[in-house]
Amino acid sequence: MDQNQFETVIGLEVHVQLRTESKIFCACSTEFAQPPNTNVCPVCAGYPGVLPVLNRAVLALAVRVASAFGCTVQESIYFERKNYFYPDLPKNYQISQYKVPLGKNGGVELETGRTICVERVHLEEDAGKLTHKEGGSLVDLNRAGTPLLEIVSMPDIRSPREAFEYLRTLKMILQYIEASDCDMEKGSLRCDANISLRRRGEERLGTKVELKNMNSFRGVRDALTHEQERQKEVLCAGRTVVQETRLWNVDRQRTESMRTKEEAHDYRYFPDPDLPDFSVPDELIAREAARVGELPLARKKRFAERYSLDEGQLEVLVGQKALGDFFEAALKYYSQPREIAKWIIGPFLEQVNALPQGMRGVSISSQNFAKIVQYFSEGKLNNLAAKKVLATAVLSTQDVDEIIREQGLEQISGEDELAGYVRDIISEQQEAVSQYLSGKTQAVMFLVGQVMKKTRGNANPKKVKALFEKELEKKRS
Ligand SMILES: [Zn+2]
């Protein structure tokens, strides 16, 4: 059978942790990496008789996400209990949304021009965390009750590569609107995938397999690629795909059967009687929609049109919202987009990436940054000196002019001052001078080097070279 007769159909379920200070139904902190069971109270520990109260900030962020994806926010909101037993879920149910999700029918536009429909976004609480050790398992409830938003795509994705692109775009949007930090290492973004194959032209979906345990976007792509090939082989051999959940084994680079999938009815969903129905106020929807602002794809198009940057520059500047903001702020003080971009992507990012907090650890104002780039472009600072000033300025609010004065880094460009150095060196370095005069003109670079040494690197080397040539040619005649 021809392998190309199959079309791949993928849907993704993404769980993101919403960026709030406290949990979804209690006031416990959501801070990561705290000692086990310290961010816990009777509500999130599942004591009987306690009452959950919805965190207003969670609702606001969820509405913002729904708005960014163009989802319709449902009029009447309520929560349901999803019943199952697991040692990290002391209540024996998870508060979630089932029949009526917070938002419905949105989409994520990819750079390729394709739009992946977002079927639903719904709120739920996270469970605790189990650590399996020799002799037993440890339960940490710090994560229990952390607010999660589940984002479910329609089965619109047609290749593992497109799944990767969708995730990348989704993450960037969530970071732009400050809804989640999307840090997969901390578990604040998790992804499960459904994949099935069908014959081209066929409308009916094939039997799907759910994939879990992918710890990176690349892991998702690799797991889907492996699973796609596995299903092709099964179908080509005339066998049928079994509906099941499979785990991605990253060490062996293959998916492995875990269990057959539960059906929704196994969870016995029913409305949580402890949380009343409510409707999301129109003002809140309007306010959060206004906070969405410009999304990454729109920004990329705008930057490309307005600043004529190349693709690599655009990728970097749009990839992190704070970086793009800084770029545009600096342009207000020195309107040379390509120069500013070059200095941000090169020396500036080098400094930023060395900071544990990244852009959030930066103190330099966009005005001070623009000044450094301008001074370099105008020859007031040479490359080395500009980088030195930047290294100090990144962590400071001190004016750049002051830093330059303090560090004695101003480039010497004055003809008279430089001519003095040149004459001194000519009388000190007779050997190099005669070499030059006998035709070895490259000896001039040695002489320039001597002036640079004397001025501790602050002389303008181009001007020094020109002055040497002028003086030495005079001697020749
Ligand atoms: Zn709590």
> How many CB atoms are located within 10 Å of the residue 94 CB?
20
Cα 23 to ligand 1 centre (Å):
7
Amino acid sitting at position 285: I
Domain ranges of the chain: 3-285, 294-407, 415-476
Cα 372 to ligand 1 centre (Å):
49
Cα 47 to ligand 1 centre (Å):
10
Cα 122 to ligand 1 centre (Å):
21
Q: How far apart are the first and last CA of the chain?
A: 87
Cα 430 to ligand 1 centre (Å):
81
Cα 55 to ligand 1 centre (Å):
12
Cα 137 to ligand 1 centre (Å):
22
Cα 146 to ligand 1 centre (Å):
9
Tokens describing residue 298: 């729109």
415-476 fold: Arc Repressor Mutant, subunit A (1.10.10)
Cα 215 to ligand 1 centre (Å):
27
Long-range CB pairs of 301-307 (<8 Å, 24+ gap) are: 306/337, 307/337, 307/338, 307/341
Cα 180 to ligand 1 centre (Å):
20
Cα 92 to ligand 1 centre (Å):
16
Cα 141 to ligand 1 centre (Å):
9
Cα 86 to ligand 1 centre (Å):
18
Cα 183 to ligand 1 centre (Å):
23
Cα 110 to ligand 1 centre (Å):
38
Whole-angstrom Cα distance, residue 472 to residue 433? 8
Cα 38 to ligand 1 centre (Å):
10
Q: What is the pTM of this model?
A: 0.84
> How many CB atoms are located within 10 Å of the residue 387 CB?
18
pLDDT at 458: 80
Cα 52 to ligand 1 centre (Å):
9
pLDDT at 288: 97
Cα 282 to ligand 1 centre (Å):
29
* Distance from chain centroid for Cα 411: 38
pLDDT at 99: 95
Whole-angstrom Cα distance, residue 354 to residue 351? 5
pLDDT at 175: 95
CB 129 within 8 A of CB 88: yes
Cα 39 to ligand 1 centre (Å):
7
φ/ψ of 239, rounded to 5, equals -95, 180
Cα 291 to ligand 1 centre (Å):
29
pLDDT at 264: 65
Helix, coil or strand: residue 6: strand
Cα 25 to ligand 1 centre (Å):
7
The series of mean pLDDT values per 10 residues for the chain, 477 residues long, is 84 97 97 94 94 96 97 94 92 96 97 96 96 92 97 97 97 96 89 95 91 92 96 93 90 84 78 95 96 95 94 94 95 96 96 90 94 91 89 91 84 82 90 89 90 83 88 82
Tokens describing residue 338: 């390509």
